[in-house]
Structure 1
Amino acid sequence: MADIDYFFSTLSPFTYLAGARLEEIAGRHGAGISYRPLDIMALFARTGGTAPAQRHESRQSYRLEELARLSAKNGLPLHLRPAHFPTNAAPSSYAIIAARMAGGGDLGGLVQSVLRACWAEEKDIAEDAVVRACLEGAGFDPALADRGLLQGAETYAANLEEAVKRGVFGSPFYVTGDGARFWGQDRLEDLDRHLAALG
Structure 2
Amino acid sequence: MAHIDYYLGTISPWCYLAGDRLERIAARHGAQITYRPLDLLQLFDRTGGVRPAQRHASRMDYRNQELPRWADHLGMPLTLKPAHWPVNMAPSSYAIIAAQEAGGGDLGGLVHGFLRAVWAENRDISDDAVIRDILGAHGFDPALADTGLFVGAETYGRNLEQAVAAGAFGAPFYIVRETDQRFWGQDRLDFLDRHLATL
Shift of 1:49: 0.4
Separation (CA, whole Å) in 2 of partners of 1:127 and 1:185: 27
State the match for 1:197 in structure 2.
198
Separation (CA, whole Å) in 2 of partners of 1:77 and 1:110: 18
Counterpart of 1:50 in 2: which secondary structure? Answer: coil
Shift of 1:148: 2.5
State the match for 2:189 in structure 1.
188
Shift of 1:150: 1.6
Counterpart of 2:198 in 1: which secondary structure? Answer: helix
| Alignment of structure 1 residues 11-160 onto 2, 5 Å | 11-160=11-160
Q: Which moved more, 1:22-31 or 1:143-152?
A: 143-152
Give identity over the alignment, percent.
65
Separation (CA, whole Å) in 2 of partners of 1:80 and 1:25: 27
Cα deviation code 1:121-180 (max 9, x no counterpart): 000000001111110010000010001212111100000000000000000000002100
Separation (CA, whole Å) in 2 of partners of 1:148 and 1:32: 22
Shift of 1:28: 0.2
- Amino acid of the structure 1 residue aligned with 2:185: G
Separation (CA, whole Å) in 1 of partners of 2:81 and 2:118: 10
Separation (CA, whole Å) in 2 of partners of 1:13 and 1:165: 24
Shift of 1:53: 1.3
Separation (CA, whole Å) in 2 of partners of 1:131 and 1:61: 31
Separation (CA, whole Å) in 2 of partners of 1:27 and 1:150: 31
Separation (CA, whole Å) in 2 of partners of 1:70 and 1:176: 25
Deviating runs (4+, > 2 A) in structure 1?
none
Separation (CA, whole Å) in 2 of partners of 1:25 and 1:123: 28
Counterpart of 1:36 in 2: which secondary structure? Answer: strand
State the match for 2:4 in structure 1.
4
Counterpart of 2:72 in 1: which secondary structure? Answer: helix
C-alpha RMSD of the superposition? 0.5
- Amino acid of the structure 1 residue aligned with 2:91: P
- Amino acid of the structure 2 residue aligned with 1:51: R
Normalising by structure 1, we get a TM-score of: 0.99
Shift of 1:23: 0.1
In structure 2, runs of 5+ residues without a counterpart are none
Normalising by structure 2, we get a TM-score of: 0.99
In structure 1, runs of 5+ residues without a counterpart are none
Counterpart of 2:132 in 1: which secondary structure? Answer: helix
